[in-house]
Amino acid sequence: MTAAAPHHTAEKLCRLLSDMTGQTVSEGRRWRIESSLRPLLRARGLTSLDALIAAIERDPGGPLAAQAVDAMLNHESSFFRDIGVFRTIEQSVLPRIRDAAREKLLRIWCAGASTGQEAYSLAMMLKRMGPMWDDWRISIHATDVSPAAIETARRGRYTQMDMQRGLPINELLRWFTAVGDDWQLSDEIREMVSFSADNLLDPRRVSGLFDLILCRNVLFYFPEETKRAACARLAAFARPGTYLVLGAGEMLTGLGSRFVSCRDLNCIYIADRRSDPTRPDRYASETLAS
């Protein structure tokens, strides 16, 4: 196998990735395509990327296309990733949501949740916060375009390496059990999170309005117009006052989003109270009522 995929081959694979997820691969990162797909080629006994493309073209909607896309995605995640943001959520965002709530219901959506660490970190945090959420109904829904990542997330089993990346020892001791070389998350935390394999650009199994949305380290890989579309999708699940958390360094500047930056909180945005032009009826009434 050559070190870098020929241009037309890389082009086809990038188009497949873009069609299925909205993500683009910059020229400078195309060399990664070959290495990310190598394990799949080996597993399928395919000798080249062209052979992979031919096999996908014979069965365009089949599992191989999804597996190839999955291999090209970056699923990097860890428990309590960017701990400062989790502190902000715990100390500022959640108390503000609680104070402003009209009923004891907290709905959180993790969009682009990868293998579950982000959603489970929130669940562990809510448990740690203790009695203040005791009589609340809490729902955390986590989605990712990758069915394989969602399957891993649902299972809640993590490697030693996953555990060493950001998980405080007290959370490990409280919520995980060693199983061989891996660690199994307790049912109590797993049951706080529901999952669905959903594309952020067309989230069919997501419904209702959320108080808090996390979409961290996902928009980064979208071109400008896809970022705009993704923000519009997120906004459709937000009520005025919904908080949005982005990854460190991700910004909404210039995207015309209805989320505005919380000046005092890093990485945190809030849905403003102007009516949403795409859903005028809903927001007009909510704005009046709030």
Ligand X SMILES: C[S@@+](CC[C@H](N)C(=O)[O-])C[C@H]1O[C@@H](n2cnc3c(N)ncnc32)[C@H](O)[C@@H]1O
Contacting residues toward ligand X, per CB under 6 A: 21-23, 73-77, 81, 112-114, 118, 144-146, 149, 199-201, 216-218, 247
- Least CB distance to ligand X at residue 106 (A): 19
- Least CB distance to ligand X at residue 20 (A): 8
Of 98, 184, 92, 194, the residue nearest 143 (C-alpha): 194
Q: Pick between residue 240 and residue 247 the one whose CB is nearest to ligand X.
A: 247
What is the distance of C-alpha 72 from the center of its chain?
A: 16
- Least CB distance to ligand X at residue 77 (A): 3
Whole-angstrom distance, CA of residue 144 vs CA of residue 71: 14
Residues with Cβ within 8 Å of 224's Cβ and at least 6 positions away in sequence, in order, are 255
- Least CB distance to ligand X at residue 201 (A): 5
Q: Pick between residue 257 and residue 275 the one whose CB is nearest to ligand X.
A: 257
- Least CB distance to ligand X at residue 2 (A): 27
Residues with Cβ within 8 Å of 70's Cβ and at least 6 positions away in sequence, in order, are 146, 147, 148, 149
- Least CB distance to ligand X at residue 222 (A): 8
For residue 15, give Cα distances in angstroms to 19, 73, 177, 182: 6, 13, 42, 36
Tokens of 258: 């209805």
Q: In what order do the strands lie in the sheet with 210-215?
A: 193-197, 137-144, 105-111, 210-215, 238-246, 268-271, 259-261
Q: Pick between residue 213 and residue 240 the one whose CB is nearest to ligand X.
A: 213
What is the distance of C-alpha 29 from the center of its chain?
A: 21
Q: Pick between residue 222 and residue 283 the one whose CB is nearest to ligand X.
A: 222
Q: Pick between residue 9 and residue 115 the one whose CB is nearest to ligand X.
A: 115
Whole-angstrom distance, CA of residue 145 vs CA of residue 21: 7
Q: Pick between residue 192 and residue 200 the one whose CB is nearest to ligand X.
A: 200
